[in-house]
Amino acid sequence: MAEIVTIGELLVDVMAETIGQSFAEPGRYLGPYPSGAPAIFADQAALLGIPTALIATIGEDDFGTMGLRRLRRDGVETRAIRRVPDATTGIAFVTYAPDGSRRFIFHMKDAAPGRLLESDLDPTLFAGCRYFHIMGSSLFSAAMIRTIRRGMEIAARAGAGLSFDPNIREPLLGQPGVAEAIREIAGRADILMPSEADLAFLCPGATTEAAIETLLGGGTKRIFLKLGAAGSLYADRARRIATPAFRVVEVDPTGAGDCTGATFLAGLLRDLPLAELLRRANAAGALAVAARGPMEGNSDAARLDAFMARADSSPVPADGTPDPPEPSPGA
């Protein structure tokens, strides 16, 4: 039984080693790292002990094997991950600009992630599901949008709430119907986890507060606005809670938003007090940005607790890594 069911791309990331590297010239890349926003989300939720299933398609290749192994190791229910013969596991190449922005080249819609079918939506997977979580990055083609909409119907019939992270990727917005689908699903979500850029896309020209009021007025129950280094802003009809970020040395922001969102939802499912679960979500995000690789910085509860305890007692930025071991006496 999965309390969270999520759906979409399980892929590998291949990441530029140096800031300012261009796709148009040879350089050094690190990877492949298991990735894909729904996969990162599922991995983090499972690490926190929430039964979580991912519905996805991968190729019959080593890239797919790596992702599948990682999710299994971390406790994700993977029986709805199908290996597609004759398609290659999806890839995202990532470069980092000096201003902190990222550029992507995706092999996704024509690769294994684009082969997801309505028949992959095993209804028994949704029994007992409390939230169906959708990533906007998975709405990359008309076929994916259709499949995910069908998943929303099955989830609703199973009594699950809808959780949505718009997670907008510029190169994907050009696909027909993608922008419309993101807007429509955002309007139907019980929980919305946007970034500031996502919020600006959903409510163009509005201030943050005006956008939040519009979205809460439209039916959304909870908004978890991810602000990166500025922390987060939680909003529901009764309150706003701003939670500062933990200070860390940023190594790689990829995946941090997905990881933060999963920790937020896991906290709701375990009925943690709001202030505490918001702080935990930010701690998870801090640990994620301190590690290279999209899900290399995902954390279990013990790691989150240790990090938060260390952050409380330390006036200097934590770097997210454990203290180095003492050298052994004979070394």
Question: Residues in the site for its own copies, rule: CB under 8 A?
Answer: 14, 17, 22-33, 61-63, 65-66, 69, 86-89, 91, 105-107, 110-111, 175, 293
**How far out from the chain centre does Cα 145 lie?**
18
The distance of closest approach from Cβ of residue 254 to its own copies in the complex, given in angstroms and rounded to an integer, is 13
The distance of closest approach from Cβ of residue 101 to its own copies in the complex, given in angstroms and rounded to an integer, is 15
CB of 43 closer than 8 Å to CB of 102: no
Residue with token string 């999806």? 90
User: Residue 144's closest CA among 171, 170, 182, 106?
Assistant: 182
CB nearer its own copies, residue 173 or residue 301: 173
CB nearer its own copies, residue 61 or residue 300: 61
The distance of closest approach from Cβ of residue 26 to its own copies in the complex, given in angstroms and rounded to an integer, is 5
CB nearer its own copies, residue 59 or residue 231: 59
CA dist 125 and 241 (Å) reads 34
The distance of closest approach from Cβ of residue 15 to its own copies in the complex, given in angstroms and rounded to an integer, is 9
The distance of closest approach from Cβ of residue 314 to its own copies in the complex, given in angstroms and rounded to an integer, is 29
CB nearer its own copies, residue 12 or residue 311: 12
The dihedrals phi and psi of 278, each to the nearest 5 degrees, come to -70, -40
The distance of closest approach from Cβ of residue 125 to its own copies in the complex, given in angstroms and rounded to an integer, is 27
CA dist 114 and 296 (Å) reads 25
Q: Omega into 32 within 30° of 0, i.e. cis?
A: yes
CB nearer its own copies, residue 111 or residue 262: 111
281, β-bridge pairs? none
Three-state DSSP string of 261-323: HHHHHHHHHCCCCHHHHHHHHHHHHHHHHCCCCCCCCCCCHHHHHHHHHHHHHCCCCECCCCC
CB nearer its own copies, residue 162 or residue 172: 172
